[in-house]
Chains A and B, each alone.
Chain A
Amino acid sequence: MNDLFNSFMSGPDESGRFGIFGGRFVSETLMPLILSLEEEYEKAKTDQSFWDQMDDLWKNYVGRPSPLYHAERLTQHLGGAKIYLKRDELNHTGAHKINNVLGQIILAMRMGKTRIIAETGAGQHGVATATVCAKFGLKCIVYMGAHDVQRQAPNVFRMRLLGAEVIPVTSGRGTLKDAMNDALRDWVTNVRDTFYCIGTVAGPHPYPAMVRDFQSIIGKEAKVQMMEAEGRLPDTLIAAIGGGSNAMGLFFPFLDDKDVNIIGVEAGGKGVNAKMEHCASLTGGRPGVLHGNRTYLLQDDDGQILEGYSISAGLDYPGIGPEHSWLHEVGRAKYVSITDMEALEAFQLSCELEGIIPALEPSHALAHVMKIAPELPADHLICMNMCGRGDKDIFTVAKHLGFDMSDTEGRVAG
């Protein structure tokens, strides 16, 4: 680690790499677009008027800062570490996704683009993109795997209400990976007027760094709020990871605070084993190249990409942002996995003890909190990112708990 010259926050390098991860693995047609986006973003980064506009929208449209909430009953129940939840589920549209979408849409408008495309898994990024496009009067097309269209029906309707065109993707197995392929195909076809608004810290450079920078508002706020509440930094940060944008947003401002433990929680599905019924790219995958970047991927012996599996559509992606791959290899962050069943248990506990219905994605993070908090001392401060609310997931959860939603008596089936 000596050649990291004391900082974990200086990446990516000018070729878009975090160590060996990241890069710009796209077709020539897209290359000029990515270079012009990078140029525009570099300009915006040091342009105070850009950040003034972002701050105004974050405050008045999104409702930031999101609270840092001491989860008292959860803390008592687990009987160990003191647990704080960063309440990004209270944002407008119900998740952290909008933090990033606002930044990208403002950039798109600065570049004169009039047509916005996005991919979505759980639908949260799609809803956020449709929302911001409605606000600014931009045309919005969202690619969503046909399988996800089914399991996230409320979000599909939301996007349509917001004026977006939702295109169900049937290629492959119809999940997030396939939606991203089709969004890239759209972009390569409509290069002149279209901006691709990527929802996570993945894709070709500059997306991973740009999305991280926009999401870093989460960690910046958490740092200030924790200082106000406790007079010191948290001991442990925990966040769920699909592509890894909410986690990167929380982690990034703390990377050089060496005493802060950082834990990312991947979706373990039915268990991280040879059957590959999971989405734990770091725990169960190896480095490869997909969707514009080199990163850890679920793949077979021939380098063919495997379809992941998770109860959570938002974590159902066979890759992970390249900066996470790098943090994993240099050991600055630790990555673990949580199964569907553990996440469902955490989901219910949060409802019962804190009156917070969490999305299935942060339920994975919470399940890991449940694992480690009891063993930690009372003065150990955990900060977990509650990155989305669970309204969209109630149908999925009902199904898994054997609850018949059509039964007005609310009886548990069979």
Chain B
Amino acid sequence: MTRIDAKFAELSAAGKKAFVSYIMAGDPDFDTSLAIVKGLPGAGVDIIELGLPFTDPMADGPTIQLAGQRALAAGMTLDRTLELVADFRKSDDTTPIVLMGYYNPVYNQGVDTFLQKARAAGVDGLIIVDLPPEEDSELCLPAQEAGLNFIRLATPTTDDKRLPTVLQNTSGFVYYVSITGITGSAEADSGDVGPEVARIKAQTDLPVIVGFGINTPEKSRAIAGIADGVVVGSAIVALIGEGRPVAEVLDFVRTLSDGAHSI
């Protein structure tokens, strides 16, 4: 059982929905980023998604692209991201951490080396955007063997015929991308999302978490009402990009998590 599985068991027992936050590791610099990550559980975050900076984030909008560029400019690397996780783990051994990013930096480091280091650092799961089920042998299967969850994205274009393929080697939870588009663009319409979540839940026992296009406490609450949890990324990253103090960023996160937890 990973920390992710334990967290969902705990939430389920308490009848609560999950609030998942995304920030870019190392944005705007290592120390500030670490301070924010350390504050997230206290701001009501159940699962922390940490973005892996990459030069070519093809599924991300300008907000997260720029965050990646800031992190890279400040010297962030894959190894430094793992150091950040290890540092966080010194004071928190229960909040799950999921790394989200693109395959090349992982492939470049070598899958086995990366998995060994990630596990040692205290990473619980991976979301690698450009690894669809067709490429499962690359990282998905080795990651599961190494005891990490591999969380898959399901999208509005994933039809019923394809859904079993997508769900097959997924673990931890399913991340439903509520829109066709990039992060931080269109707003999710809870009217469309409800039936889609139901469609996925009919085929899996895993929790279904919804992300993309959720940017306010109200949206957070609305989506939490129809799924097992919500992810907010760009709206938080935008505040960090504006150079707001850590406390202010965490206050905003608190309003979002309150939204999700008020269900």
Interface residues of A (CB under 8 A from B): 15, 23-33, 171-172, 177, 181, 184-185, 188-192, 288-292, 294, 297, 299, 301-305
Contact = CB atoms under 8 A, between A and B. Distances in A.
What 3 pairs across the A-B complex have the smallest Cβ distances?
A303-B108, A303-B105, A189-B181
Interface of B: 53-59, 61-62, 65, 72, 77-79, 102-109, 129-135, 152-159, 162, 166, 177, 180-182, 185-186
Nearest to A205: B134
A217 B109 CA distance: 40
Contact of A32 (B54, B78, B131, B157): B157
Contacts of A305: 55-56, 104
Contacts of A172: 55-56
Contacts of B132: 24-28, 31
A24 B177 contact: no
* A-side interface mostly: mixed
Contacts of B157: 28-33, 191
A172 B59 CA distance: 15
Contacts of A30: 157
Given A288-B108, A303-B104, A32 B158 contact: yes
Given A27-B132, A171-B62, A188-B181, A302 B155 contact: no
B56 A181 contact: yes
Indicate the member of A172, A290, A299 with the most B CB atoms within 10 Å.
A290
A65 B158 CA distance: 43
Contact of A185 (B79, B104, B159, B182): B182
Given A24-B135, A33-B157, A302 B58 contact: no
B230 to A, nearest CB: 19
Contacts of A184: 58
A192 B157 CA distance: 9
A25 B185 contact: no
B65 A290 contact: no
Residue in A171, A299, A302 with the greatest tally of chain B CB atoms within 10 Å: A302
Nearest to A297: B104
Contacts of B102: 289
Given A288-B104, A289-B130, 13 more contacts: A25-B131, A27-B132, A28-B158, A29-B155, A33-B157, A181-B56, A185-B61, A289-B107, A290-B56, A290-B104, A303-B78, A303-B109, A305-B56
Contact of B108 (A29, A171, A190, A299): A299
A171 B65 contact: yes
Contacts of B153: 27-29
7 contacts: A25-B132, A28-B158, A29-B155, A185-B182, A188-B182, A189-B186, A297-B104
Main DSSP-derived SS at the B contact region = loop
Contact of A302 (B108, B158, B182): B108
A189 B182 contact: yes
A372 to B, nearest CB: 35
A245 to B, nearest CB: 21
Contacts of A192: 180
A291 B185 CA distance: 21
A23 B133 CA distance: 12
B58 A291 contact: yes
Given A191-B157, A299-B104, A28 B177 contact: yes
Pick from A23, A24, A31, A177 the residue with the most CB of B within 10 Å: A31
B160 to A, nearest CB: 11
A177 B54 CA distance: 13
Nearest to B153: A28
B168 to A, nearest CB: 13
A221 to B, nearest CB: 35
Given A28-B157, A188-B180, A304 B54 contact: yes
Contacts of B129: 27
Given A171-B62, A171-B65, A302-B78, A32 B56 contact: no
Contacts of A291: 56, 58
Contacts of A27: 58-59, 129-130, 132, 153, 155
A63 to B, nearest CB: 36
A2 to B, nearest CB: 24
B103 to A, nearest CB: 5
A405 B123 CA distance: 60
Contacts of B180: 29, 188-192
Contacts of A33: 157
A181 B57 CA distance: 8
Contacts of B65: 171
Contacts of A31: 132-134, 157-158, 162
Nearest to A183: B58
Nearest to A305: B55
Contact of A304 (B105, B134, B181): B105
Nearest to B130: A25
B69 to A, nearest CB: 8
Contacts of B55: 172, 304-305
Contact of A28 (B78, B106, B154, B181): B154
A192 B104 CA distance: 28
A26 B134 CA distance: 10
A30 B157 CA distance: 8
Contact of B105 (A177, A191, A302): A302
A32 B158 CA distance: 7
Nearest to B105: A303
Nearest to A299: B108
A237 B109 CA distance: 37
A303 B55 CA distance: 9
B208 to A, nearest CB: 14
B100 to A, nearest CB: 12
A303 B135 contact: no
A27 B128 CA distance: 9
Contacts of B152: 28
Given A28-B154, A29-B180, A304-B105, A189 B78 contact: no
A39 B133 CA distance: 18
